[in-house]
Each structure stands twice: as C-alpha cells, then as structure tokens.
Amino acid sequence: MDRTDRKILIALQQERQNTKEIAAKVGLSVTPTYERIKKLEQQGIIKGYVALLDREKIGKRVVAYCQVTLLKHQKGLINTFEQEIQTFPEIMECHHVSGGFDFLLKIAVSDIKEFHQFINEKLSVLEGISNIHSSFVMNSVKESTAYKL
C-alpha cells in the first residue's frame, strides 16, 4: 500500500464518490484508480461499503455500552457467548477486552423500555454471564468511522 492507495482510502472513507471523483482527488486517471480500488478490495483492506444512518431519524435514540463479565475464562464459554451475540441486532459492536471485564458491547435501541427488555430477555439469559454493567450515552461528542492513514 503506497501513498496513492492511502489517498484513495481517505477519499472513500469521507463520502460516497464514484471512481472518476476519486481519480481527480488522487491525481490518477479513472482506469488505474479503479484497478487500485479493486486491488484494495481483493486484499481485504476495503471490507465493504455501507450507508451511515442517522440513528435519531431511524428511532434508535438510546445507546448504551455494556461491560459483560463471564463466570469463567473458558474457551468454550467464550466461543458460545461470541456466537450468541451475533444473533442480536441490538448489539452494534462487541469487543473482547482486557481489564476488569471481558466484553464491551455497544447497544442501540429505541428507548429505555426496549433496553430493559433486551437485557432481561436476551442478554442476561445467556449462559455463563456473571455481571452486566451498563452506561448510557448522554451526548455524542464525536462519532467517526474513518481511520487516520
């Protein structure tokens, strides 16, 4: 990955653009820009493309981060937990972390009632959970999906 590839990746992270617009920004013609983008996709550097939605406008007004602690640090228990988490659309992110708890979950729901229902009927009933600690987002100061390259 060279400097031009980095410029292409920066442009792709900023906004939806066609190959011609990206080519103009990075100083290449359309064909080599297209080929570089395809190469970055094939290498797995570009994993996919998505539309970023305004969560308020789609009714996801409550965001919570849940710190989950498991009863034991067993491979089987961890694998089962990770598989179960994949089935919950309320969970936007799940990270296995070090420190005072095992997993950090980002959860987006419409209201506190839906959050309560999610915790009581879905998350807390998973096998092997010892503790769940939740923190609610009061205001988002910065949200980004773009990496500095």
Residue 76 in domain: yes
Outline where the chain has alpha helix (H).
3-14, 19-26, 30-42, 75-85, 112-118
pLDDT at 67: 98
Residue 149 in domain: no
- How many folded domains does the chain comprise? 2
Of 110 and 147, the structure prediction assigns the larger pLDDT to: 110
Read off the pTM: 0.86
Query: Which residues, other chains included, contact 16 with Cβ-Cβ below 8 Å and sequence gap of 6+?
Result: 51
Domain coverage including residue 21? 3-42
Cβ–Cβ under 8 Å, residues 78 and 29: no
Rounded distance between C-alpha atoms, residue 90 and residue 141, angstroms: 22
DSSP letter for 102, please: S
How far is the first Cα of the chain from the last one, in angstroms, to the nearest whole number? 11
Residue 90 in domain: yes
Residue 88 in domain: yes
User: Does the pLDDT of residue 10 top 90, yes or no?
Assistant: no
Torsional class of 103: left (φ above 0), alpha (ψ -120 to 50), beta (otherwise): beta
pLDDT tens digits along 75-126: 999 999 999 999 999 999 999 999 999 999 999 999 999 999 999 999 999 9
Residue 148 in domain: no
